[in-house]
Amino acid sequence: MSETTTAAAGISTADKDQALVNSTMENAHSAFQLYRRMAAKDRALFLETIGKEIDKIREQLVAVAGRETHLPAARLNGEINRTIGQANLFASLIREGSWVEAAIDTEDPGRTPPKPDTRKMLVPVGPVVVFGASNFPFAFSTAGGDTVSALAAGSTVVIKGHSAHAETSGLVFGAIQKAIEASGMPPMTVQHLLGSGRTVGIALVVHPYTTAVGFTGSFAGGKALLEAAQKREVPIPVHAEMSSINPVVFFPDTLEKNAAALAKSYAGSITLGMGQFCTNPGVLLGVKSAALDSFLTLLSAEIAAVEPAKMLHKGICEAYTEGLSSMLGQKGLTIVGQAAKTAGDMEARPVVASVPAAVFLKNPHLSEEVFGPFSLCVICDDRQQLGEVLKSFKGQLTTTIMGTPDDVRGNMDIIDLQQQLAGRVILNNVPTGVEVNASMVHGGPWPATTDGRFTSVGTSAIQRWVRPVCFQNFLDEMLPAEAEECKSAGDLEGG
């Protein structure tokens, strides 16, 4: 949300911004009246065409995004693959059709009172506003998961591109426009705006024609959008993915047996993409022991060898530097290890610190997210204190269990606490790396997201942009295709 307006400040700019937002949302509303009636197979083809048009300009996208975000080409290519894969996944989902959760209860005129024919299915809510995320210029931005899930649902989309990769965003939007034209969709099905989150962004959220919002970014940014949406005459849902420190519990038996491998994989996860992932392991937990000490020594050596690299943009780099400095200034913290090389211009220096659990429990500042390659190891006196630390956490995107089968069997109570904490619970993996499929949950209780009952990754992400409608006693000719009897009755038959 730390952005600057594209035009000079002044009353006329604000008026111009508002006029632009008004005409954009009017277009989105009008286009919705056409787009929502497009056949699922045509919407599916449109999504696949978006992927193809992005692939056509891949080389240019990687070059421009590399310059704008400092992310390496391999990562950007991988992210483009993921973005295309997401569009194709939602195309398959809507072509298959059961995502509409159709349910049919047939009539029984002989019952007292007569039982009507009722058929339920999900329909799109209306125009959706999507905010591009700075840390994923493709997969969580212009043609990212929020956009393609909303388009799959039958909603039109207005994208507020992130100013940190404005040129990349414009190029991706160009690819979407080509796909709109090639697949015969209404011209205003997707629109693209740049500008300040605080002015243009809020104006989009509060516009009467906006029906839902998707956002991935900071807690402050997500909360500001949510509060604006709640103050509307007609409140609307904001799906913001905001803040998570992704606690990882290291159990004793695995620390004894696998310390070197654990140190290697966690040094990698903490510093992957310079820690600029929502699922970065920001807090490591263990009960004090010689094995934990050895693990931390090995982790320290691994971290020391990591090369500092440029962060996404100046604002994020400054926030990391300030956040790290504030964190390291807290009483009771010890630096466990840090990159041997100091950070250059716009670079982040990876750091791991440790703190006794008794100190951690008394200082809420220590459980705040430092977005970047930082992780804090909380050293507990015993299992009971480990449980207390877990209970002290707010909602998380992920939590991880590192343990052997013996560890697991001996700690089901701790694992149970972890299951109540997060949207995804991982055994013997790093939390970074999010699969895109039907079983993924990228979400979690507040403040990980604004509504832990939804996910922003995977096919279930479509559920954010739909509402159910019941059609009672409708004639066959009036029913949407998905609510007609002939469609695979086995799946559709209601209770």
* Catalytic residue set: 241, 278
Residue 364 binds to a second copy (criterion: CB under 8 A): no
**C-alpha to C-alpha distance for 345 and 195, rounded to whole angstroms:** 26
**Residue found by looking up tokens 């052997």 in the block:** 404
The span of 99-107, 157-165, 173-181, 323-331 binding a second copy (CB under 8 A) equals 99-107
Asked if 428 touches a second copy (CB under 8 A), the answer is yes
Region of 88-96, 173-181, 271-279, 286-294 interacting with a second copy (CB under 8 A):
88-96
Nearer to a second copy, 56 or 231 (CB): 231
Structural tokens at position 403:
């343990």
Q: Is 208 in the site for a second copy (CB under 8 A)?
A: no
DSSP, collapsed to helix, strand or coil, labels residue 248 as strand
Q: Which is nearer to a second copy, 276 or 279 (CB)?
A: 279
Residue 351 touches a second copy, criterion: CB under 8 A:
no
Q: Does 488 bind a second copy (CB under 8 A)?
A: no
Which of 123, 166, 171, 358 binds a second copy (CB under 8 A)? It is 123
Token couple for 379: 């050293």
Check binding of 145 to a second copy (CB under 8 A).
no
CB of 236 or CB of 366, closer to a second copy: 236
Of 16, 472, 481, 485, the one binding a second copy (CB under 8 A) is 472
Site for a second copy in 405-424 (CB under 8 A): 405, 408-409, 412, 415, 419, 422-424
226-245 positions binding a second copy, by CB under 8 A: 226, 230, 234-235, 237
Contacts of 92 (CB under 8 A, 6+ apart): 44
CA-CA distances (angstroms) from residue 396 to 316, 424, 431? 21, 8, 11
CB of 224 to a second copy, least distance (A): 14
The span from the CA of 161 to the CA of 197, in Å, is 9
Candidates 47-55, 176-184, 191-199, 444-452; binding stretch for a second copy (CB under 8 A): 444-452
Between CA 161 and CA 164 the distance in angstroms is 9
Q: In terms of residues, how long is the chain?
A: 495
Closest CA to 283 of 207, 379, 152, 395: 379
Contacts of 221 (CB under 8 A, 6+ apart): 1, 131, 197, 215, 240, 242
Candidates 119-127, 243-251, 325-333, 368-376 — which segment interacts with a second copy by CB under 8 A? 119-127
Task: Give the tokens for residue 397.
Answer: 């995107």
Query: For residues 350 and 338, is the Cβ–Cβ distance under 8 A?
Result: yes
- The residue type of 348 is A
User: According to the binding rule CB under 8 A, does residue 104 interact with a second copy?
Assistant: yes
- Nearest distance from C-beta of residue 99 to a second copy, angstroms: 10
Contact call for residue 394 and a second copy (CB under 8 A) = yes
Cα torsion through 224, 229, 230, 233, rounded to 10: 140
Residue 308 — φ and ψ, nearest 5°? -60, 150
**String of contacts with a second copy for each residue 32-71, x by CB under 8 A:** ----------------------------------------
d(C-alpha 457, C-alpha 82), whole Å: 11
What does residue 353 show for φ and ψ, rounded to 5 degrees? -125, 170
Q: Contact between 441 and a second copy (CB under 8 A)? A: yes
Which window, 190-198, 243-251, 257-265, 440-448, contacts a second copy (CB under 8 A)? 440-448
Between the alpha carbon of residue 274 and those of residues 139, 149, 284, 298, the distances in Å are 17, 28, 17, 20
Residue 72 lies near a second copy (rule: CB under 8 A): no
Out of 450, 456, 462, 482, the residue judged to bind a second copy by CB under 8 A? 450
Between β-strands 190-193 and 157-160, what pairing exists: parallel, antiparallel or unpaired? parallel
Q: Report if residue 426 touches a second copy, rule: CB under 8 A.
A: yes
Report the residue from 20, 57, 103, 182 that binds a second copy according to the rule CB under 8 A.
103
Q: Which is nearer to a second copy, 142 or 218 (CB)?
A: 218
| Under 8 Å between Cβ of 376 and 282 | yes
Q: Which CB atom, from 325 or from 419, has the smaller least distance to a second copy?
A: 419
Minimum CB distance to a second copy smaller for 381 or for 435: 435
Query: According to the binding rule CB under 8 A, does residue 77 interact with a second copy?
Result: no
Backbone angles phi, psi at 358, to 5 degrees: -60, -40
